[in-house]
Amino acid sequence: MKHLVDKVMTEKVDFMGDTVEVKKLSVAQVFEIQELSKSAAKAKDQEMAQMSLLMQVLKIAVIGAEEISEKEFNNFPLNELTKLSEKVMSISGLGDGAQEAGNLA
């Protein structure tokens, strides 16, 4: 089993009529997202904090998303980003996919 440590598993997911590749989150990444979620919950501007959390989750999990700027993320339809985030959570074994990134904690 040791030879599988740090192995990255991916799954192709439909996004906006195209396909993106999503990494299954590691335990460490799940804990990182939970900490980000806790910080977002304490933020004064909840709407901005939740949007930032959504972007961070996608940057962690979607291959190539780490290269997208905040300004570029703002050009995507919100419901498409939310559905992709839910799929990330589902692929990673968190909930049934109906759970948003901000509701992990």
Task: Quick: pLDDT tens for 21-53.
Answer: 999 999 999 899 888 888 888 888 888 888 999
Angle between helices 46-61 and 78-91 (to 10 degrees): 50
Residue type, 71: K
Beta strands 10-15 and 18-23, pairing class: antiparallel
- Show the tokens assigned to 38: 């806790």
pTM of the model: 0.80
Q: Is the pLDDT of residue 101 over 50?
A: no
- Show the tokens assigned to 73: 């993320």
Q: How many angstroms separate the Cα of 13 from the Cα of each of 4, 24, 31, 51, 88?
A: 23, 12, 23, 21, 9
Q: How far apart are CA 103 and CA 41, in angstroms?
A: 9
